[in-house]
Amino acid sequence: MIASHSAHPAEAGVVIVGGGNMGLALAAGFAATGALAVTVVDPSPERARAKLPAGVAVTLIDSPAGIAGQPGMIVLAVKPALVPRVLAGYRSLIDAGALVVSIAAGVGHDAIRSRLGPQARVIRAMPNTPALVRQGMTVLHGGPGLAEADRQSAERLFQAVGATAWVDREELIDAATAVSGSGPAYVFAFAEHLAAAGAAAGLPAALAAELARATLVGAVALMNQPGAEARALKRMVCSPGGTTEAGLSVLEGQPGLAELLEGTVRAARERAAALSRG
């Protein structure tokens, strides 16, 4: 018989399977709420502990056999290829009512439920690396059979490390992965190449890197102002016939940044879809 689950699953404790960068970022953020018992299962708990901020109240163990009690939620934070293998170790906890949240790119509801049975309650989530500084963006999609309490619990949990949004079709998780999941790498690449271009223009390399970093941080702060819109902010920087307009004529020429980013997102989305097909 399937055990009944708590009104809000996370309140019964959270187990994170996988102590990689994202798993540990989530663990630290979840634990910082002070309201959750957080356990991380990783084959090398000492290595994982060394990556956590000092004083974070997270229990680290090396196998599911060490889990104390019945958790309300299990977060799968392992590489996609490992998901089928690790699920077997958590089957009894899931059968007893634990909500499953998977952050593995390309591993769909059907693939997870085929291993666990139709009674499994599964949410797919795609956070990103700014969760490390509690400025993440997590996109979620709920599978069949979820209670509203399940959705609320997952949303509250991921809001501990940033903002959240839901999509109503599972395939949109792949598109979200391509934009917000992979997006920080695109921003870092832009910073890297802007700094390199500054050095090529004659700036000392260290100064060029500092200017690129500070410019991105300041620009993002402007975008975070109430009512801010990227197109309007871009126009605000431009003067007719000025330097910014000259630079943008190259950046947004044909083909330019728009076509490059469209192709970038398409490639990442297609890769996520391919992973889901196995």
User: What CATH number does the domain containing 52 carry?
Assistant: 3.40.50.720
Residue found under tokens 């990227």:
230
In this structure, are 236 and 273 located in the same domain? yes
| Residue at a domain's end among 139, 169, 199 | 169
Residue found under tokens 């187990």:
15
Residue found under tokens 């994982």:
48
pLDDT bin (cut points 50, 70, 90) of residue 12 is low
Quote the domain boundaries for residue 270: 183-277
Annotation: binding site:
77-80
Q: Distance (Å, rounded) from C-alpha 130 to C-alpha 109?
A: 25
Helix (H, G, I), strand (E, B) or coil at 191: helix
Phi/psi at 68 (5° precision)? -95, 120
Q: What is the pLDDT of residue 1?
A: 29
> Could you tell me if residue 178 is inside a domain?
no
Q: If you average pLDDT over residues 266-275, what whole number do you get?
A: 91
Are 79 and 104 contacting, i.e. CB atoms less than 8 angstroms apart?
yes
Helix axes 205-223, 230-237, angle to 10 degrees: 130
Residue 95 tokens, joined: 């059968």
Please enumerate in sequence order all residues whose Cβ is within 8 A of that of 203, keeping only pairs 6 or more positions apart, or say none.
Answer: 211
What integer best gives the mean pLDDT of the chain? 92
Q: How many domains does the chain have?
A: 2
In this structure, are 34 and 159 located in the same domain? yes
Q: What is the pLDDT of residue 90?
A: 94
Annotation: binding site for NADP(+):
77-80
Q: What is the pLDDT of residues 71-104, one digit of tens each?
A: 999 999 999 989 999 999 999 999 999 999 999 9
Residue 158 tokens, joined: 């991921």
Q: If you average pLDDT over residues 241-265, what whole number do you get?
A: 96
Q: Distance (Å, rounded) from C-alpha 186 to C-alpha 268?
A: 11
pLDDT bin (cut points 50, 70, 90) of residue 4 is very low
Q: If you average pLDDT over residues 98-115, what whole number do you get?
A: 92
> Could you tell me if residue 4 is inside a domain?
no
Would the pTM of this model clear 0.85, i.e. be above it? yes
